Copies of this chain bind each other. A is one copy, B any other.
């Protein structure tokens, strides 16, 4: 067959499931109900871009012991059958009236005693990827079993990456680094920004991305106004700073970092801002350690930017990374999640420029080790690169 084999050996998925089951036990859960693409990929290896279609819900149940059980639309049986999951139950979705509700409720009732607790992620940075009305039917059918929040259970396990996962993220970062190196080939003065975005995506694919789930960026004189917009047709002008940010995917794992380029010589304020971001990042790359909290990283980055004579931008200054473009924790003043060895994280400081309506941002990807940061993205140059 032409289809891809499993991305990891079965032992990887078994180890993840065992870790999840340990955390479930600690958190008093008798089963975990997963509906999101990332969670389902994490425990089964089931990887498909078909999630782009909102037509069908997909379910995986992690019981207290043993292998996961898949309750999925029939169209996915072939692909799930190539995973390590043996117990695959299907229905012909989409099915008005009962779109997997009875099959899922029966499966959970079989796996969990009436006094049991079923966990599903309900908290910050999670969604329930099934119709709300159908979830309510499942919950009602399962009573007196309780459905409770399992955000903590899933996040404490998923946030510690295995070496196999770290290697995948490193590979995504490396291919994106090669694509960033080629930006001067297609981002000269006069090139339309939307064409630059297209050529950047083509470069990412050519360098080995399986697909490109995220590209954003901006260009402007003396900084840019936001970092999440798609591109328009305006040509790059001399004096613009161009930023490109990507989440390219290889084997289901993301990178997430950006690079800045000056179109023609950089103005002194831009050159200084880039230098401040680079040196602030450098300082935190050397000081970050397990045992710090997410909010400590936010404070460290802000302090270092101020030390460099610049003004920190607003918003979160980094986050987790892995099977989605962004994962918890968030480097904000409010997030007290403890940082632990094995976490893959982004450092994403920004500085405010001019009257405060413009910004410059900078991003690197790291894995936190017992003794500090290991870079996964090829380090940005200390000096803002110029495209002449």
| A1 with B234: CB separation less than 8 A | yes
Which parts of A335-364 form the interface with B (CB within 8 Å)? 335-336
The reply to whether the CB of A326 lies closer than 8 angstroms to some CB of chain B is yes
A205-239 contact mask (Cβ, 8 Å, vs B): 1 or 0: 11011111111101110001111111111101000
The reply to whether the CB of A26 lies closer than 8 angstroms to some CB of chain B is no
The reply to whether the CB of A319 lies closer than 8 angstroms to some CB of chain B is yes
Count residues of A near B (Cβ-Cβ below 8 Å).
91
Residue picked from A5, A214, A227, A314, most chain B C-beta under 10 Å: A214
The reply to whether the CB of A95 lies closer than 8 angstroms to some CB of chain B is yes
What residues on B are CB-neighbors of A130 within 8 Å?
127
Whole-angstrom CA separation of A5 from B95 in the bound complex: 39
Whole-angstrom CA separation of A247 from B234 in the bound complex: 26
Q: Which of B4, B149, B212 contacts A212 (CB 8 A)?
A: B212
The reply to whether the CB of A125 lies closer than 8 angstroms to some CB of chain B is yes
Q: Which of B54, B211, B212, B326 contacts A324 (CB 8 A)?
A: B54
| B334 with A95: CB separation less than 8 A | yes
Q: Which A residues contact B (CB, under 8 angstroms)?
A: 1-5, 36, 38, 47-50, 52-55, 74-76, 78-79, 92, 94-97, 99, 120-133, 135, 149, 151, 193-194, 197-199, 201-202, 205-206, 208-216, 218-220, 224-234, 236, 240, 247, 314-316, 319, 324-326, 328, 330, 332, 334-336
